[in-house]
Amino acid sequence: MAATHGFCALVFGLVAVLFAGPADANPIPDSQAQVGAWRVGGFTRGQTATFDHCALYRVQSEGFAVALGYTASGIWTLALEAPDWGLTPREAYTTSISLGTAGSYRFTGHATSPRVMILDVAPELFPQMKSGLQFQATANQHSYAISLDGIEAAAARAKECVRQYAGASPSTSSSSMSGSASSGTPPAPSALVSSIQSMLARLGYDPGPPNGTVGLKTNIAIAAFQKSVGDRGDGLPSEAVRQKLEKAVAERVAAVQPGARSDTPRSEAPRSETSRPEMQEAPRNQAPGKLSAVSAGTGFHISPDTLVTNFHVINGCVELHIRKNGAELGSARLVAASQSDDLAALRADTRSTSYLKLRAGAPIEPAEAVLVFGYPLPGALSSAGNTTLGNVTALTGMRDDSRYIQISASVQPGNSGGPAVDESGRLMGVVVSKLNALAVAKVTGDIPQNVNFAIKVSVLVNFLEAHNIGYEADSATHGLSNTERAEHTEAASTQLECWK
């Protein structure tokens, strides 16, 4: 009996993290009710009497738990718990969810503990969760399934719980389990939604056809765009979303005009490693309409025709030229970009026989060996590229930013966008910046050495998933020598020249 009570406490922690966070939500006394196999109850924010959300949850025999939260705003959210997921708190995990034979979807889960994650789920998923279906979730190489029988009654009780404790009827939204997606009546096409879909497509997202009807692809594309501009990412169309899309499209158009300058703010401490910073602006005596190379960075293949690099490497470029060993191999065009995460995906017009697989299933550990390849200081160093070795020195970046790892492998101007691989030759990060040693020295009186940063592979996976860009994951370990790793990484990498 004591074990049962202990697991109930864990489940209360699971449903508490749905909105307020595990340390901030408490169950409302006497609100808990059993509805078939589901437990339903209300939660307040912290020790106050302020209502936060109601939730329904179910646990199966292997300890796998599914919890759905519902707020007075009519928003559903999803959290999962499994005893052996082995998650790293604050890390992001790609999670596959399937509902019977209805198909499989991929979402991002954010770990709050080694066994609990909150998922960024498109609102349209919730109406598809019905009795008679098996809910299956796969993350970090572990799969679990649970029956959804009785979920309709439990969801109805959760809505009653919200009305009872919030003192108001929840508003109707596309994330409601009883909305049009489950009633069989298709929503009428919307000019607002059609406009949003068209602009998302122009920015490289895949919202589906611009038919004015919100579907799962549209929800995912909106959420991805919202996160790229620093918003929460609820995936819902709105006038605010349209206005931000219009601004983003206008900036994209302006950025590709010859001679356009980027006004992207930069952090004072890290310095992005795009080479030849003094040439960011085209020469003033350049003939109108004539382009020239103004900067260079590094990119690498994740498939024969898809390259990854930093956003700041390609920002404002009119043309992107691919070079290797001093020779031009062709050009590339932008497929998708995230300014907030400093990532970009390109389509190369010349296919590569070598590409890197992304590390999966193994959290990055302190002191791990790392190999970096890139094209630093073009014109001064080898046109064949440069390989450096080092270690993971910290699991977060500046000001504990969990999107980055700190590495000791040396990087120079021109390394930006290059790969950082582990001992098995799997991609573990994208080189992004180094600490501005002179700026730090002015403050501390000491010059820091080998303080460099890479974007974690998990952030790249989320970016690729959001834009439906294919990649290969690798969870196996390989006994490769440093020479073998260097040769493979060099073969998959290219120099990228920005022309304006």
Dihedral over alpha carbons 170, 175, 179, 182 (to 10 degrees): -140
pTM score of the predicted model: 0.47
What confidence category does residue 3 fall into, taking pLDDT thresholds of 50, 70 and 90?
A: very low
What pLDDT score does 14 carry? Answer: 59
Highest mean pLDDT among 328-337, 444-453, 459-468: 328-337
What pLDDT score does 177 carry? Answer: 55
Mean pLDDT of the region 216-229: 75
What is the C-alpha to C-alpha distance for residues 144 and 82, in angstroms, rounded to an integer? 8
DSSP character string of 397-456: -GGG-TTEEEE-S---TT-TT-EEE-TTS-EEEEEEEEE-HHHHHHHHSS---S-EEEEE
What's at 18, amino acid-wise?
Answer: L
The residue with greater pLDDT, 21 or 120, is 120
What pLDDT score does 458 carry? Answer: 85
What pLDDT score does 356 carry? Answer: 96
Give the residue among 44, 57, 51 at the shortest CA–CA distance from 15: 57
| Contact yes or no for 142/243 (Cβ under 8 A) | no
The residue with greater pLDDT, 261 or 189, is 189
Mean pLDDT of the region 148-162: 88
| Other CB atoms within 10 Å distance of the CB of residue 21 | 14
What is the C-alpha to C-alpha distance for residues 461 and 481, in angstroms, rounded to an integer? 26
The residue with greater pLDDT, 336 or 46, is 336
What's at 438, amino acid-wise?
Answer: L
CB within 8 A of 33, min separation 6: which ones?
A: 39, 40, 41, 157
Mean pLDDT of the region 406-428: 92
CB < 8 Å & 24+ apart, contacts of 152-158: 152/177, 153/35, 153/36, 153/38, 154/35, 154/36, 154/38, 154/40, 154/56, 154/58, 155/56, 155/68, 155/70, 157/33, 157/35, 157/40, 157/56, 158/40, 158/54, 158/55, 158/56, 158/68, 158/70
State pLDDT tens for residues 101-124: 666 788 888 888 888 898 887 777
What pLDDT score does 9 carry? Answer: 41
What confidence category does residue 440 fall into, taking pLDDT thresholds of 50, 70 and 90?
A: very low
What pLDDT score does 339 carry? Answer: 85
What pLDDT score does 344 carry? Answer: 94
**Tokens at 355, concatenated:** 């590409």
What's at 327, amino acid-wise?
Answer: A
Question: How confident is the prediction for the chain on average, in pLDDT?
Answer: 77
What confidence category does residue 345 fall into, taking pLDDT thresholds of 50, 70 and 90?
A: very high
Domains and CATH numbers, the chain: 2-166 (2.60.40.1880), 187-253 (1.10.101), 270-499 (2.40.10.120)
Highest mean pLDDT among 58-62, 208-212, 389-393: 389-393
To 5 degrees, how large is the angle CA 90–CA 94–CA 97? 125
| Contact yes or no for 14/65 (Cβ under 8 A) | yes
Least confident of 157-161, 175-179, 251-255: 175-179
Mean pLDDT of the region 352-365: 89
What is the C-alpha to C-alpha distance for residues 92 and 22, in angstroms, rounded to an integer? 17
What is the C-alpha to C-alpha distance for residues 312 and 265, in angstroms, rounded to an integer? 11
What pLDDT score does 35 carry? Answer: 81
State pLDDT tens for residues 233-285: 667 788 888 889 888 877 766 654 433 333 333 333 343 443 333 223 333 34
pLDDT above 50 (res 185): no
In 229-273, which ranges are continuous DSSP H helix? Answer: 239-255
User: How long a stretch of residues is the chain?
Assistant: 500
